[in-house]
């Protein structure tokens, strides 16, 4: 494909969704969601949060998994995958959805993809430790590797890395910041009846 063809037909589309935790950017190709990142600060968002996932995903040229020059902003309703993702995220924030039914295509290593697949098994309103997630993958000693994989999760919320906490129950690491992680966990606990 030539550069002219790429410029005329971007491979990725992006829609924006206002939520209680800030404006989210949802990036998808024609078949699946590839990324969710934060656009702005919100009531639950930590303004000091550094978002290396967003930088890795939406870099320019070879600097990112998704080249920002290859993304076009659209209204969600114009793109079937983005329309479904926006609707399901809105339902989640309204307390009307506990699971997502979206096609996903996260870019990562084989280990990262395994770790992310395990995240989808954590029930809404519950948390597990990084060690427990590593144990689900077959080796409790890989808790740090699991933490690093979760930190690289390109599709937070839908792939619920916010449901993983330290072995002492403390909140650690989240691309959206710890206040956002706390907000998401409280949002889920309040609606699930879990303490």
Which residues, 6 or more positions from 146, have their beta carbon under 8 angstroms from its beta carbon? 115, 130, 133, 134, 137, 164
- 125: alpha, beta or left, given left = phi > 0 and alpha = psi -120 to 50? left
Backbone angles phi, psi at 56, to 5 degrees: -65, -40
For this structure, is 161 an active site residue? yes
Assigned token pair, 143: 């808790």
What is the DSSP annotation of 108-126?
--HHHHHHHHHHTTSPTT-
Of 27, 85, 104, 161, which one is the catalytic site residue? 161
CB 40 within 8 A of CB 57: no
Strands 128-129 and 71-73: unpaired
56-85 in b/e form (b: 16+ CB < 10 A) is bbbeeeeebbbbbebbeebebeebebbbbb
Q: How far apart are CA 82 and CA 56, in angstroms?
A: 21
Please identify every residue annotated as catalytic: 161
């Amino acid at each position: 494909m030539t550069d002219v063809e790429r410029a005329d037909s971007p491979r990725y589309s992006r829609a924006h969704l206002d939520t209680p935790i800030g404006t989210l950017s949802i990036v998808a190709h024609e078949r699946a969601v590839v990324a969710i990142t934060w656009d702005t600060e919100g009531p639950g968002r930590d303004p000091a949060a550094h978002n290396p996932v967003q930088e890795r995903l939406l870099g320019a040229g070879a600097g990112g998994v998704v080249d920002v020059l290859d993304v076009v902003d659209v209204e969600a309703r114009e793109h079937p995958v983005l329309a479904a993702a926006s609707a399901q995220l809105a339902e989640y924030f309204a307390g009307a959805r506990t699971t997502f039914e979206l096609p996903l295509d996260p870019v990562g290593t084989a280990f990262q993809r395994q770790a992310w697949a395990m995240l989808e098994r954590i029930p809404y309103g519950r948390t597990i430790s990084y060690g427990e997630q590593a144990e689900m993958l077959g080796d409790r000693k890989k808790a740090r590797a699991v933490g690093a994989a979760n930190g690289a999760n390109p599709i937070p919320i839908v792939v619920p890395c916010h449901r993983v906490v330290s072995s002492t129950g403390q909140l650690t690491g989240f691309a959206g910041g710890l206040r956002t992680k706390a907000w998401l966990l409280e949002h889920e606990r309040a609606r699930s009846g879990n303490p």
